[in-house]
Structure formats: structure tokens, C-alpha cells
Amino acid sequence: MTDSQASPVALVTGAAGGIGTAICDELAAHGYVVVAADLGGAAPASATHAVELDLRSGDSCRAAVAAAVERAGTVDLLVNNAGINARGATETMPEEVWHDVVEVNLNGTFRMCQAVYPVLSTRGGNIVNLASTGGLVAIAGSAMYGVTKAGVIQLTKILALEWAGAKIRVNAVAPTIVPSPMTADVLDNEDYMTAKLATIPLGRVVRPEEVAAAVRWVASAEAAMVTGHTLCVDGGVSVL
């Protein structure tokens, strides 16, 4: 945000999902103009604008950024929240499923960072990438998700280094399991959740609102000297 701009503009991908909605709500509550980006242009009520986005297409990523600038005037913060998952044994996972997860989670994050750079580089700004503790610790049955999130963490570090001269801060937020449509398949699985909670020292899942608060803080002026960092919101998983 600059002195001449009262309300910063945040572009949030995957905005219609559970975590995406919480992020949009949190940013809007703290004075952001929120541009929600999702397939089909779906958006939570807290968003001021909505744009359509397909992370598998560089053209779509560039068009989403252009639309955000056209409707809101600029972009000060990009939140790369969108992601997909596929669980299963690595030895039997179809190659096309691997490619789908990589294409959205890692390649899509890269595409959006690249697409927003021309806007942010004119006066500085922030990028917050949604990673996962799965990118920091090994989780059986989640090879694809973990590898893509580890890639997002490394991409965060490299872009923070490369783009510091343009006054662009790049950070990541890495939660453990969060109740959302993407985790709905395991939340009701008692055996899975018992084992999962046993790996979390604080003994519970993360609320979407807690992830959103971390995203807002790391993009705020209070974190002005924080870049290239992955903020874990995981109840201690990553310290084990």
C-alpha cells in the first residue's frame, strides 16, 4: 500500500474454497479490496470483485491479473491459495494424476507469480504462497502434494531473493490439516484422523481463520522485514 492509496488490493486464488473464503474474509475485514479468482469466477461475499482463473493456463493467469488491475486499479498482494490433492500409494498413482497436481499446485503458483510481477515491480508489494507442512515433513500417501508444496517453499525462497530489489516480499504459509472441501474425504475417517492428530503436538486441526490470519500478518507492515520465510501454522508438526 502506498500513501496515496487508502485501500490495498489483494488478488486471492482459489477464493471460493474453504481456506480461500477465510482469507478473503480476513483481508476484507482489515481494509483490503479483495479480488477473488477461481474457476468459473466464483467468489465469497466478502470479495469486492471476481475474476475467472484457470491456473493451468499462462494466458488465463495473465488475464486474471489484468482484470484485477482493470477493476480494482492495481494489485498489492497476491495470495496463491488454490491447490488440489490426490492421495494414494505412489507406486500405483497414475502419471496423469501426478501431472494434474503438479500443474495446479506448483506450475500454477509459478504462473501467477510471473503474471503479477510487472504490476508489483512498479512500486513493490507482497506475494504469499500457500504451502503445507507436507512440503516440510514426509507424509505417506501424499507424495504428489508434498513434492509440489516443497517446490512452492523453494520457489518462495528464490523469488524472495530475486525480487527483493523490486521491493517485492515473497513468503509462504504452511498449515497442517485444515477442515476444507479438499480434506473432506479424510475428516470423517476415524482411523486416519486419530493417526493424524497424533502427529500434531497441539493435538487438533488448524482452523481456516488461523491460516487466514497468518497470511494477513506476513503480508502486513508489521512483517516488513520478513521475506523468503515459510510461516508454519501446524501445531508443532514441523518441529518433530
Residues involved in catalysis? 145
How far is residue 118's CA from residue 69's CA, in Å, rounded to a whole number?
Answer: 11
By the 8 A CB rule, do 176 and 15 touch?
Answer: no
Nearest to 67 by CA among 48, 82, 81, 83: 48
- Those residues with Cβ within 8 angstroms of residue 111's Cβ, 6 or more apart along the chain or in another chain: 55, 57, 58, 61
DSSP string, 131-196: --GGGTS--TT-HHHHHHHHHHHHHHHHHHHHHGGGTEEEEEEEES---SGGGHHHHT-HHHHHHH
Please report which residue ranges of 7-103 form alpha helices under DSSP H. Answer: 18-29, 58-72, 95-102
By the 8 A CB rule, do 172 and 232 touch?
Answer: no
Phi, psi of 7 (to 5 degrees): -120, 115
Q: What is the distance of C-alpha 136 from the center of its chain?
A: 16
- Those residues with Cβ within 8 angstroms of residue 92's Cβ, 6 or more apart along the chain or in another chain: none
